Homo-oligomer: A and B are copies of this chain.
Amino acid sequence: MTEEQRDRLLLQLEIDQLNAAYAATLDERRFDEWPGFFTEDGRYRVQARENFDRGLPLALIDLESQGMMKDRVYGVTQTIYHGPYYTRHVVSPAQVLGEQGGLVRARTHYAVFRTRPGDASEVYNVGRYLDEIVRTPAGLRLASRQCIYDSEMVLNSLIYPI
């Protein structure tokens, strides 16, 4: 195996570490740290698979910068009234789809489980991340993360980021 092939494979590991840190940040409710996984003009979208597949624009959440993400976090943690629940992300190893001009495209399947107080855990939202990732001096950052979810019926409402 050449050094280049090795480094191509190792890129998967770097993305796996990014995904694991991202999941832990959300599940441990350190929401203030969540926008930091993105570039300053990063994009975050949560969209139903049906709309994505048909090229329809409607998305459940569509944030176009870190600033909008910080607003969202403020809304979620300070102003929205909702029943409390825990989330747990379990993700597959990432698939590196390609790299061009410093932008890595990757896809990762995820399952998010929800646990409400005094209740059993349940499947909450499953789907795939479609990512564009850039390397910065501080490490890998998401230039764009699309969460394309299968789940047509979103349980109650989706409050926390996926």
10 A–B contacts, CB within 8 A, in A order: A9-B14, A12-B17, A23-B92, A88-B111, A91-B93, A92-B92, A113-B126, A115-B152, A119-B152, A119-B153
**Once the chains bind, are B9 and A115 in contact (CB under 8 Å)?**
no
**Once the chains bind, are B119 and A122 in contact (CB under 8 Å)?**
no
Question: Does A70 count as interface, using CB distance less than 8 angstroms?
Answer: no
**Once the chains bind, are B20 and A13 in contact (CB under 8 Å)?**
no
Contact pattern, A 121-154, Cβ under 8 Å of B = 1, otherwise 0: 1111111100000000000000000000011110
Given the known interface contacts A9-B10, A123-B122, A152-B118, the answer about A89 and B88 at a Cβ–Cβ threshold of 8 Å is no
Given the known interface contacts A13-B9, A95-B20, the answer about A88 and B152 at a Cβ–Cβ threshold of 8 Å is no
Minimum C-beta distance from A4 to chain B (A): 11
Partner of A113, one of B27, B117, B123: B123
Minimum C-beta distance from A150 to chain B (A): 4
Given the known interface contacts A17-B95, A92-B23, A150-B113, the answer about A49 and B107 at a Cβ–Cβ threshold of 8 Å is no
Residue of B nearest to A155 (CB): B120
| Closest 10 pairs between A and B when the two form their complex, measured CB to CB | A20-B95, A16-B93, A115-B150, A88-B126, A9-B13, A86-B150, A121-B151, A113-B126, A90-B111, A121-B126
Q: Which interface residue of A88, A107, A111, A152 has the most chain B CB atoms within 10 A?
A: A88
